[in-house]
Structure 1
Amino acid sequence: MIDYGCGNLASVVNMIRHEDGDAQIITSPEELDSAGKLILPGVGAFDHGMSSLRSGEWIAPLERAVFERKVPIMGICLGMQLLACGSEEGQEPGLGWVDARARRFRPDDPKLKVPHMGWNEVRQMREDVLLPVIHAPRRFYFVHSYRVECADPADVLLECDYGETFVAAFRRENIWGFQFHPEKSHRFGMELFRNFLEV
């Protein structure tokens, strides 16, 4: 678990430990060398998140872990958006690991409030080791004002509807991003973390 000053770490750590995982909070880039899996959480503004990664000198060590050692990484909420190329919310470039951009919700229906907050069903667009296909729909807990648009539809893993269809999860090789909060999504979140531990 990467502690770069922009995440709610405790609830994610608790969920992983509930699934018998060995969750550790990494507070310095040097610790990335021994990590077998990575989680990039995130709450708050896009520019602040990217500035925190840069000022903490996280980016180059993260890229070595993800691209050279092929360590699986999961971005959660803002963490997912930071994996993309940028966001309408700010001016900073994102990590650019997935060809995507974050854009603000602008629902036509005045009854749909922003941020999008609450439980929503998702549609699975393809099979994935973290989300084995099941017949019953999965529901996850969302809190966000921005949603990611992927340039390549093949990267889209889950979709959801909130006034419009948006990407709820993407995957490119060993990089996963989830717009919802699996740590707040009860049994469906537990399943996701359990499968991530086994990758």
Structure 2
Amino acid sequence: MCIRCYEIPDTCTVERHEHPLFFDHKYEGTCCGCGFKVMGGFRCKDKKCKFAINYRCLVLPNKARYKYDDNHSLVLTSRDDHHRSQCYCDICEEDRDPNHWFYHCADCDVSAHPNCVLWGSPYVKLGKPFRYAGHHQHPVSLVKIDFNPPKCNSCNKPCRDRLAIQCTESDCNYIVHWYCLSYWNILHTDL
């Protein structure tokens, strides 16, 4: 376990939810932050409440800077009351789900997916081969995609988040967005 993961207690709180959360390794459901499937995540202690989030959404910073706006911080927001047709990311220019968390600057009226704002992934080491347990037969590695993103084998959309897992075999076209991966299904092994 990395130091950042270890520092998160089994019980915690987030600003965007009124009740305490606890880690439930058996929980399976949908993340309220991003809408992706949760396999082992943080859920609400109140049994009547259905709130649950994955680790990735739990550790999102409350404020972030975007490289083209030095004047204001973007604030992590949990709800957008605009009409669905007006919900798009100002960075990648794709649609955003108004019910999922996003970064917003009220002064500039800029909204963006968390991935588009935080795409640098400063804690990720690229290139080291590992096995993606039960999902692909060849070794894979983390790669950064800068131009001409290929389609993800999981969601069939271009890899716009710039970080992906790609097969190390030259004749295999397997690639999956980092965002489409389940954190709990990756098993790192030295090759």
What TM-score, normalized by structure 1, do the two folds share? 0.27
Higher helix proportion, which one? Answer: 1
* More contact order relative to length (CA 8 Å, sep ≥ 6): 1
What TM-score, normalized by structure 2, do the two folds share? 0.28
